[in-house]
Structure 1
Amino acid sequence: MITSEDIDRIIGADALDSQDDRIGEVSQVYVDESTDNPTWVSVRLGLLSGAEVLVPLDDAEWDDHALHVTVERQTAREAPRKEMDEPLTEAEQERLYTHYGIPTVRHPRSELGLMEVDPDDVCYAVHEDAAVEARDLTRAS
């Protein structure tokens, strides 16, 4: 598990996929405000393109030289883009969850008015075989 103590060492390191193929260089680490745990890393794909993608830190490992993530290189490279140096919004996070196949909670439309979330910004994709815990969609990450 990646902890807050690892952040300074991770930035600038190579991010490697589950096959140890290089995705790119870690440029930023996103931390969940409520838990102080790192949850996503921004990975710079190349020096010339300047493109960056967010990669989940679920089950990632740090070996003091490189960050090993559990997603495939091509999947990371095809991830939805976002403006860097900006907080990760719930809508962006939900799109990323869907892209990476990370289970999320399905919310009935009747609950949306209570959550102060635009119905178009809610992700309904859920892996039916995954055990999913409820999470508050109105909480900022």
Structure 2
Amino acid sequence: MIHAADVREWRNRDVVDSESHKIGVLEAVYVDTTTDEPALGTVRTGLPTRHRLVFVPLEDAVAGPGYLKVGYVRTLVKQAPSIGVDGELPAEQEEAIFKHYGLPYQPGTAGERQLARR
């Protein structure tokens, strides 16, 4: 698990899957708004002229020298909901990301977002 204090340190590192295949590069981290702990990362994938950001959960991530290993296979991550490199995650798309990975989604009691970009 990446701790909040380590988030900036891991940006722009290679992200590899559970089998050590490169997925892309860590672009940003979204934290859980109730705990302020890292929840999802965006991984820059694609060709240099056609990058996109895919979302991947960070709960089982392991940091190594120059990389971050996530607990999901590359195929699943590359099929995850995505945004453009200059985009922001719309609130109504949060649940789809959690559903893609089979994770529970719980918005705030007042309907507020579960995730915030850091």
State TM-score, norm by structure 2: 0.81
CA separation of 1:85/1:35 partners in 2, compared to 1, >3 Å: closer, same or farther? farther
What is the CA-CA distance between 1:9 and the residue it aligns to? Answer: 1.3
The alignment-based identity, stated in percent, is 31
Query: Is it true that 1:24 corresponds to 2:28 in the alignment?
Result: no
**Aligned-partner Cα distance in 2 for 1:81–1:137:** 26
Q: 1:48 deviation in Å?
A: 2.8
Rg larger in structure? 1
What do residues 23-49 of structure 1 show as CA deviations (whole Å, max 9, x unaligned)? 000111111222110111110003232
The structure showing larger relative contact order (alpha-carbon pairs under 8 Å, at least 6 residues apart) is 2
DSSP-derived class of the 1:92 partner: helix
Amino acid at match of 2:26: V
- C-alpha offsets along residues 42-98 of structure 1, whole Å, 9 cap, x if unaligned? 100032321110111121111242111011101111111235552552x32210111
Q: What does 1:21-100 align with in structure 2 at a 5 Å threshold?
A: 21-46=21-46, 47-83=48-84, 84-87=86-89, 89=91, 91-100=92-101
Query: How many angstroms apart in 1 are the aligned matches of 2:8 and 2:39?
Result: 15
Alpha-carbon contact 2:83-2:89 (below 8 Å) kept:
no
Secondary structure in 1 matching 2:112? coil
Query: Matched residues in 2 for 1:16 and 1:38: separation?
Result: 17
- Which structure shows the bigger proportion of residues in strand conformation? 2
1:82–1:92: 8 Å Cα contact kept in structure 2? no
Classify the secondary structure of the residue corresponding to 1:29: strand
The runs of at least 4 aligned residues of structure 1 exceeding 2 Å deviation read 82-88
Instruction: With the length of structure 1 as denominator, give the TM-score of the two structures.
Output: 0.69
SS at the partner of 2:26?
Answer: strand
